């Protein structure tokens, strides 16, 4: 028996990193998992890994979708309910970042960051809520420690994560009367493919990770360490409205 037998879980950004790890963890525990992302090949890889830990074909639904496009948000919820009959858990993990200063950023990039990191989670919550009410389900939003610190080159990204943190707290208060819980995790630097989406070279990204290592006494975080925290929040019946930093000691480390 798994901890999430027959629970229906949507995981956005499930083609790699934290999303893939989270989908696989839920699959291992018996859930029916909807994996969504923009890359079909990588989604297939995630699905195969879900099956490798015990999921049957009928327990996995792949939805290739760009959640920056508004029409895909309600469609994702509809496809999930059409396939599985309901929703128990929503994991808003998909995100987008670019290394831009306020001086260099253009409107299309600004909108892309906000649409992916904030509009998508907000409206997925809106469309999923009627189904979550029926199951007394839960939401976990994946924010970032970037919402808790400030620095050059990532202000728009940080802005979306600060807003996502506050949305989590406010939405949790709206949902509590229905028995629906809403929480958030705030990872520091994590070993994912997130750098692929940033306008930086491999060398620049490696330098960024090196700098993070100096700020994170416990080192760069593994995706499974984030997904373990996500699953914990989904299991607890009395935790709601929190932002949980998973920072490898960064927030308490001396400034460099």
Helical (H) or strand (E) element with 37: strand 32-37
Total residue length of the chain = 256
157 has catalytic annotation: yes
User: Sign of torsion, CA 10 94 47 187?
Assistant: negative
Contacts of 63 (CB under 8 A, 6+ apart): 34, 35, 36, 76, 79, 80
Contacts of 225 (CB under 8 A, 6+ apart): 190, 246
Q: For residue 194, which of 4, 19, 11 has the smallest C-alpha distance?
A: 19
Catalytic residue among 96, 110, 127, 157: 157
Enumerate the active-site residues: 157
């Amino acid at each position: 028996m798994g901890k999430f037998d027959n629970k229906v879980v949507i995981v956005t950004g499930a083609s790699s990193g934290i999303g893939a790890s989270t989908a696989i963890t839920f699959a291992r525990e018996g859930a029916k998992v909807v994996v969504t992302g923009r890359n079909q090949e990588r989604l297939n890889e995630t699905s195969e890994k879900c099956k490798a830990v015990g999921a049957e074909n009928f327990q996995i639904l792949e939805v290739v979708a760009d959640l920056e496009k508004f029409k895909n948000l309600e469609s994702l919820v509809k496809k999930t309910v059409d396939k599985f009959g309901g929703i128990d858990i929503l994991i808003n993990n998909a995100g987008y970042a670019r290394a831009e200063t306020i001086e260099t950023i253009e409107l299309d990039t600004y909108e892309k960051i906000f649409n992916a990191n904030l509009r998508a989670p907000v409206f997925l919550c809106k469309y999923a809520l009627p189904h979550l009410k029926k199951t007394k389900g839960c939401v976990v939003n994946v924010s970032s420690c970037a919402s808790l610190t400030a620095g050059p080159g990532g202000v728009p990204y940080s802005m979306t994560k600060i807003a996502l943190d506050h949305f989590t707290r406010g939405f949790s208060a709206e949902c509590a009367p229905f028995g629906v819980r809403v929480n958030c995790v705030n990872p520091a630097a994590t070993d994912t493919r997130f750098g692929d989406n940033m306008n930086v070279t491999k060398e620049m990204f490696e330098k960024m990770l090196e700098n993070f290592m100096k700020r994170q006494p416990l080192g760069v975080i593994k995706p499974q360490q984030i997904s373990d925290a996500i699953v914990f929040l989904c299991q607890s019946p009395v935790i709601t409205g929190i932002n949980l930093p998973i920072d490898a000691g960064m927030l308490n480390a001396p400034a460099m």
